[in-house]
A and B are shown apart, each in its own frame.
Chain A
Amino acid sequence: MSDKKPISSVNDFVVRFANVNGSGSASANEMFARAILRHGVPVSPRNIFPSNIQGLPTWYEVRVTEDGHLGARGGVDLMVAMNPQTWDKDVAGIEPGGYLFYDSTKPMPSTKFRDDITVMGVPLTAITNSTYTDPRQRQLFKNIIYLGALSALLDMDPKLIEQLIGEQYKGKEKLLSSNVHALHLGRDWALQNLKCPLGLRIKKSDKVGDRIFIEGNSAAALGAVYGGATVCAWYPITPSSSVAEAFTAHCKKYRHDPKTGQAKYAIVQGEDELASIGIVIGASWNGARAFTATSGPGISLMTEFIGLSYFAEIPAVIMNIQRAGPSTGMPTRTQQCDIIACAYASHGDTKHVLLFPEDPAEAFEFAAAAFDLAERLQTTIFLMLDLDIGMNHRLCRPLKWDDAKQYDRGKVMTAEMLEEGRDFGRYLDVDGDGIPYRTYPGTHPTKGSYFTRGTSRDRYARYSEEGSVYADNMQRLVRKFETAQDLVPRPLQANAERPTKYGVIYFGSTSPAMDEAIGLLEARGHQLDRLRIRAFPFHSSVASFLAEHDFVYVVEQNRDSQLRQLIVNENGIDPVRLVPIVHYDGTPITARYIAKAIGDHQDHLKVTPLRKAVS
């Protein structure tokens, strides 16, 4: 053992569990995170899993964060190494002075350990083998036993964990008691054989407040329920499948007619993504609120229909839970890499509305708002989540809903309006906002019908290949997109304590890491104004922010700085003034990464102040 002092920290450390996919560890690991929350201490967990069902490595990381930092931190203080395959890498990733927890049933050569960390071996296999005969029980309870041992090592209150087990196995007395027994098997062994607690400890606090703990995909699905979606068509794809699955579960609970038991919704698992978006467009054309959920490869398949939605002006909501591309890429790793693909999806001149929620609470709000926007603007709305928000639990403010809210169905001409003699031209810009009126099929016996098509037509929906007619229509679509600027969520700006000529732009799941990075940068003496973009088209305040700063960093999780490209393209700004800060290895961006990248660039600017035009 070296002289390296063991890390000592209360309510502020990172625990990482290294497991084998399919070993049943997920529920025990999640229970660990929830148990810390019950102590009143915020956590930020992340599931790092392979695109495989069984046998490959998986990790679950819990950031314990008294200060409430919800981004990934980087580094590991306590490694629970349960996967021999990844042992070397796992041990190497522990911070100096950190801790290693492992199954000591089989002796390990000393070369497999480091001398600057504290090692705690628990003979988990031996304990389970002596207690259980069933192989599956041995596997599953091993996870609960290490949870029990960790509770002793971290000084956690076992009653709070028992409470969670009670909630999970409510009504299943046998499972409840056997899990509690396993918990205490591990806890008692640790208390009797190891020095408990460690330097890392959980101390009861009150920092969680009324916040909720929810995955972004589930929150978005709930937003679809509250936003009035009645048709969902989808095709399974990681990491978006849980959106449709959650929507199904929510609908079963809240959307059945109490008298007849009939469903006030329709959910279809399409044969592919093309059918899914086709169903959404057909339903929306006919006046229902409809959506699909997918990921990058699905977006690629849907683009032809997205072009139709844009040109024929049919509402549609697409929830894109982004993963690492291109092609199949890394299906279970996170990125923000579909920005350009979605903003300009399909051939020809197109522009689409994108919404960028930062957490599950906004995923809920934006999902509900997406249906209003889709109908108001009669176009496709993309809700741009990513795996990091979508499939991980996040602490966020409680979800809120105003019961007085009515759905904005947009400009729909009714039979009464037609009877009044209103001039109905399907693509007629009567209000100057670029948004025409539409009618639903079946509205009126003799008025208001029209033919929807992807080919060019005039203001009255009459097929036309006249150049001037086509250009007139395309210009109106530009006006409509300009109208969208004031309908979508506006950017949020936060200024530094002191005036600064430097700014940073970021969006979506980068938000919590960025919030934390600002503190780290201030500690290095760097002041930055912040602008969190929440939607495309960009509000005019984005251009103002760019004009007010000499350099603006654009932080995003893709290789090519796609948001920066979009900003340059849409604002006509000198690209040199926009400095890309990119992270794209499939893991969530961390505060440390952002602070180092921006801090180094800022230091560089200070050293050579005249060289403002840096690459």
Chain B
Amino acid sequence: MTYIAKPKFHHPGLKKNDLGYTHRDYEGKISTLCAGCGHDSITASIIEACYELSIEPHRVAKISGIGCSSKTPDYFLGNSHGFNSVHGRMPSVLTGANLANRDLIYLGVSGDGDSASIGFGQFAHSIRRGVNMTYIVENNGVYGLTKGQFSATADRGSKSKKGVTNTDNAIDLVAIALQLGATFVARSFSGDKSQLVPLIAAAIRHKGASFIDVISPCIAFNNHAGSTKSFDYVREHNDAVNRLDVLVGRDPIAVDYAPGTVQVVEQHDGSKLALRKIDADYDPHDRLGAQTFLAKHAAKGQIVTGLLYVDPDAEDMHAHLNTVETPLNTLEADTLCPGSSVLDKINASLR
């Protein structure tokens, strides 16, 4: 959060998207995070993805919990409504907002402290319900705002800045999301913008619970030797499974599983994801395969990134609840209230 608004000057030569918006229209306030924080790179990727998708900024609702990551919605989409709720309870607030108005785009931003500890239950249940959202965890394995305690995603054996060794097992949010039935699951690295931007764009276009775990090194408390979330460690252990681009309104590109080729995934709204797989055996439609793949590479100490699973035919919470297409927040007394004549009949039945 910041007091400081960015200057509103727009260079007339700035590139515009289909709606006539420039990158600047997707920016927010100036970040007060530490210089070099991975979270700022994620912010930049969100801005880029929304720009590329030509989203109307004000049609996005950005909701977060508490923590470094949860501050970031202030730094993008300045013309959107934001909600910095309570620690770990972003998912329930987002769920309620989504119930009220299904027409907006919901971007949930959280952290590992937020989602893997106090909010672990809410994370799980929002995924389980299939809330149509893009749920991004900015995962640095450490509590930055309170200066360096381990979070629940910190790997066992890793060391804090103070030299303390973590003796607890880590929670892998991606593995959990897969198990809970998330219909879009991905992992990326904040420094890998070429991978992260299309992943975010694809997640936004996916109709259902999209989850992206973004490894985001903490420059202040988790970028040291012994940490498994440092820039150096992640670069060394990153095993990308694919690359993808979002193609809107264009013909799909057919692919197969051969290494270096492209696979096209069709989403519910007709948009296509073109996936370039690096791993020859990887199938992003195979939930069980994804879980096995993750577990196998985790055992090797590797971090798998890329689009791990997508269900192109996913349904969201509103479909499960069979709610009307009209946003519930626009319904008024004339359509909601059964009226006095019905009440008279109810009264008669209670005698």
Count residues of chain A with CB under 8 A from any CB of chain B: 75
Tell me whether B58 and A278 are in contact (CB under 8 A).
no
Partner of B338 from the list A37, A225, A266, A442 (CB cut-off 8 Å) is A225
Q: A286-B100, A403-B339, A445-B56 are known contacts; what are 20 more A-B pairs with Cβ within 8 Å? A: A230-B328, A254-B338, A264-B335, A270-B92, A270-B125, A275-B122, A278-B93, A279-B96, A282-B92, A283-B97, A283-B100, A283-B329, A285-B100, A288-B96, A305-B89, A407-B333, A442-B104, A449-B81, A453-B82, A463-B1
Query: Can you list, as one digit per residue, whether each of A248-270 has a CB less than 8 Å from chain B (1) or not (0)?
Result: 00000011010011111111101
Tell me whether A282 and B328 are in contact (CB under 8 A).
no
Chain A residues with CB under 8 A of B103: 442
User: With A444-B58, A452-B84 in contact, do A260 and B333 touch (Cβ < 8 Å)?
Assistant: no
Stretch touching chain A among B146-154, B245-253, B319-327 = B319-327
Stretch touching chain A among B230-238, B282-290, B341-349 = B341-349
Chain A residues with CB under 8 A of B82: 449-453
Chain B residues with CB under 8 A of A446: 58, 79
> What distance in Å separates the Cβ of B45 from its nearest Cβ neighbour in chain A?
21
Tell me whether B331 and A402 are in contact (CB under 8 A).
no
A81 at the interface (CB under 8 A from B): no
- Closest-by-CB residue of B relative to A405 is B333
Chain B residues with CB under 8 A of A454: 84-86
Tell me whether A260 and B324 are in contact (CB under 8 A).
yes
Can you offer 28 A-B residue contacts whose CB atoms are under 8 A? Answer: A208-B351, A212-B351, A225-B338, A228-B337, A230-B328, A231-B96, A231-B99, A260-B324, A264-B331, A268-B129, A278-B93, A278-B95, A281-B96, A282-B92, A282-B93, A285-B83, A286-B96, A287-B329, A287-B330, A305-B86, A308-B86, A398-B347, A440-B101, A441-B101, A449-B81, A451-B73, A451-B81, A452-B82
B80 at the interface (CB under 8 A from A): yes
B94 at the interface (CB under 8 A from A): yes
> What distance in Å separates the Cβ of A360 from its nearest Cβ neighbour in chain B?
9
User: With A230-B331, A266-B328 in contact, do A283 and B96 touch (Cβ < 8 Å)?
Assistant: yes
Tell me whether A286 and B329 are in contact (CB under 8 A).
yes
B59 at the interface (CB under 8 A from A): yes
Tell me whether B350 and A214 are in contact (CB under 8 A).
yes
Q: How far is the CA of A467 from the CA of B58 in the complex (A)?
A: 32
B292 at the interface (CB under 8 A from A): no
B74 at the interface (CB under 8 A from A): yes
Chain B residues with CB under 8 A of A513: none
Chain B residues with CB under 8 A of A208: 351
B35 at the interface (CB under 8 A from A): no
User: With A286-B101, A308-B86, A399-B346 in contact, do A450 and B81 touch (Cβ < 8 Å)?
Assistant: yes
- Closest-by-CB residue of A relative to B328 is A230
Chain B residues with CB under 8 A of A591: none
Tell me whether B346 and A282 are in contact (CB under 8 A).
no
Q: How far is the CA of A213 from the CA of B93 in the complex (A)?
A: 38
Tell me whether B328 and A441 are in contact (CB under 8 A).
no
Partner of A290 from the list B96, B129, B323 (CB cut-off 8 Å) is B96
Q: How far is the CA of A401 from the CA of B80 in the complex (A)?
A: 39
> What distance in Å separates the Cβ of A292 from its nearest Cβ neighbour in chain B?
10
Tell me whether A443 and B58 are in contact (CB under 8 A).
yes
Residues on A close to B: CB < 8 A? 37, 208, 210-214, 222, 225-226, 228, 230-231, 233, 254-255, 257, 260-268, 270-272, 274-288, 290, 304-305, 308, 398-403, 405-407, 439-446, 449-455, 462-464
Count residues of chain B with CB under 8 A from any CB of chain A: 64
Partner of A400 from the list B93, B343, B350 (CB cut-off 8 Å) is B343
Tell me whether A463 and B93 are in contact (CB under 8 A).
no
Chain B residues with CB under 8 A of A400: 340, 343
Partner of A462 from the list B3, B85, B335 (CB cut-off 8 Å) is B3
User: Closest 10 interchain pairs by CB?
Assistant: A282-B96, A278-B92, A287-B329, A288-B100, A441-B81, A286-B100, A283-B96, A282-B93, A279-B96, A212-B350
> What distance in Å separates the Cβ of A38 from its nearest Cβ neighbour in chain B?
9
Chain A residues with CB under 8 A of B335: 264
- Closest-by-CB residue of B relative to A271 is B125
Query: Can you list, as one digit per residue, whether each of B90-131 has a CB less than 8 Å from chain A (1) or not (0)?
Result: 011111111111011000000000000000011011000100
| A-side interface mostly | loop
Tell me whether A266 and B321 are in contact (CB under 8 A).
yes
B18 at the interface (CB under 8 A from A): no
Partner of B336 from the list A230, A440, A444, A463 (CB cut-off 8 Å) is A230
Tell me whether B347 and A257 are in contact (CB under 8 A).
no
Query: Can you list, as one digit per residue, whether each of B53-67 has a CB less than 8 Å from chain A (1) or not (0)?
Result: 000111101010000
Chain B residues with CB under 8 A of A450: 81-82
Chain B residues with CB under 8 A of A261: 322
Chain B residues with CB under 8 A of A462: 3
B226 at the interface (CB under 8 A from A): no
User: With A285-B83, A442-B58 in contact, do A266 and B323 touch (Cβ < 8 Å)?
Assistant: yes
Chain B residues with CB under 8 A of A444: 58
Partner of A265 from the list B124, B328, B340 (CB cut-off 8 Å) is B328
Q: How far is the CA of A487 from the CA of B189 in the complex (A)?
A: 53
> What distance in Å separates the Cβ of B103 from its nearest Cβ neighbour in chain A?
7
Tell me whether A268 and B95 are in contact (CB under 8 A).
yes
Q: How far is the CA of A261 from the CA of B96 in the complex (A)?
A: 22
Q: How far is the CA of A583 from the CA of B262 in the complex (A)?
A: 74
Partner of B340 from the list A272, A304, A401, A449 (CB cut-off 8 Å) is A401
> What distance in Å separates the Cβ of A207 from its nearest Cβ neighbour in chain B?
13
Partner of A275 from the list B57, B121, B347 (CB cut-off 8 Å) is B121
Tell me whether A279 and B61 are in contact (CB under 8 A).
no
Tell me whether A287 and B96 are in contact (CB under 8 A).
no
Q: How far is the CA of A261 from the CA of B174 in the complex (A)?
A: 37
Q: How far is the CA of A271 from the CA of B124 in the complex (A)?
A: 10
Q: How far is the CA of A281 from the CA of B79 in the complex (A)?
A: 21
Q: How far is the CA of A177 from the CA of B203 in the complex (A)?
A: 61
Tell me whether A401 and B339 are in contact (CB under 8 A).
yes
Residues B270-300 near A (CB distance < 8 A)? none
- Closest-by-CB residue of A relative to B57 is A445
Partner of A266 from the list B83, B99, B125, B343 (CB cut-off 8 Å) is B99
Chain B residues with CB under 8 A of A453: 1, 82-84
> What distance in Å separates the Cβ of A225 from its nearest Cβ neighbour in chain B?
7
> What distance in Å separates the Cβ of A282 from its nearest Cβ neighbour in chain B?
3
> What distance in Å separates the Cβ of B10 from its nearest Cβ neighbour in chain A?
13
- Closest-by-CB residue of B relative to A439 is B81
Q: How far is the CA of A210 from the CA of B103 in the complex (A)?
A: 46
Partner of A283 from the list B73, B74, B99 (CB cut-off 8 Å) is B99
User: With A280-B96, A399-B346 in contact, do A274 and B337 touch (Cβ < 8 Å)?
Assistant: no
Tell me whether A262 and B122 are in contact (CB under 8 A).
no
- Closest-by-CB residue of B relative to A288 is B100
